[in-house]
Amino acid sequence: MKRSTPKRTARAAGRRPARPARAPRATPLVGLIMGSRSDLDTLSAAREVLAELEVPHEVRVVSAHRTPDWMMEYAKSAEARGLEVIIAGAGGAAHLPGMVAAGTVLPVLGVPIEATALKGLDALMSIVQMPKGVPVGTLAIGRPGAANAALLAAQILGARHPAIRERLRRWRRARTVAVLAEREIG
Ligand code: RP5
């Protein structure tokens, strides 16, 4: 005999079965933004680390030179929306991280993207050379920099969110154990 489930009971009574309630999405703490969709390949390294550490985040395209008004709106509304750290990746002249930093007092971490003939060196120089007064924490060019930006964001968040700090501690410990397990080469 078939067991009655909420779905079957609802159908038998001619009602639509109620959808299982979805867990509400946590408010993003990190805004991961990029000057172009073409930056996503690189910045997915940050996205993966944020997901692994279960840091609620949002991912948006925000172009400094193509959508300047949207960029300022994003920067100015970030704090009120609950974001605590912004990771901004851009290539070429790469003014996005600095311009966003000018619009908020939240920490902004910049990731230089290898997007031009200068292979990311242009973006690195642009992002790291913020004039005194409006800092951008600048990471390495490309995917290693993107992954480190996510780790650094988690470290910043760790001061206020002990659960994130603990996940980060475990993440580090796992790397240590993995290296020690393979330390004998010959
Ligand atoms: C920058 O220009 C973006 O951050 C990207 O790295 C680069 C190229 O952008 P697309 O021409 O691919 O949109 O603004």
> 145 alpha carbon to ligand 1 midpoint, in Å?
17
Contact 91, 117 (CB under 8 A): no
Q: Whose CA is nearest to atom 6 of ligand 1?
A: 91
Q: Which residues does residue 31 pair with via DSSP β-bridges, in sequence order?
A: 58, 86
Q: How much is the pLDDT for 162?
A: 98
> 29 alpha carbon to ligand 1 midpoint, in Å?
25
Mean pLDDT of 56-62: 98
Q: Whose CA is nearest to atom 14 of ligand 1?
A: 35
Q: For residue 16, is pLDDT > 90?
A: no
Residue 155: φ, ψ to 5°: -65, -40
Residue 84, Cβ neighbours under 10 Å: how many? 20
The pLDDT tens digits of the residues spanning 100-158 come to 999 999 999 999 999 999 999 999 999 999 999 999 999 999 999 999 999 999 999 99
Residue with tokens 């910049």: 110
The pLDDT tens digits of the residues spanning 60-108 come to 999 999 999 999 999 999 999 999 999 999 999 999 999 999 999 999 9
Taking the C-alpha atoms of residue 176 and residue 179, their distance in angstroms, rounded to an integer, is: 5
Residue 159: both structure tokens together: 């001061």
Ligand 1 site-directed mutation target among 32, 37, 39, most atoms within 8 Å of CB: 39
Query: Is the CB of 38 within 6 Å of ligand 1?
Result: yes
Query: Is the CB of 126 within 6 Å of ligand 1?
Result: no
Report the predicted TM-score, pTM, of the whole model to 2 decimal places: 0.88
Q: How much is the pLDDT for 10?
A: 62
Ligand 1 site-directed mutation target among 32, 36, 96, 141, most atoms within 8 Å of CB: 36
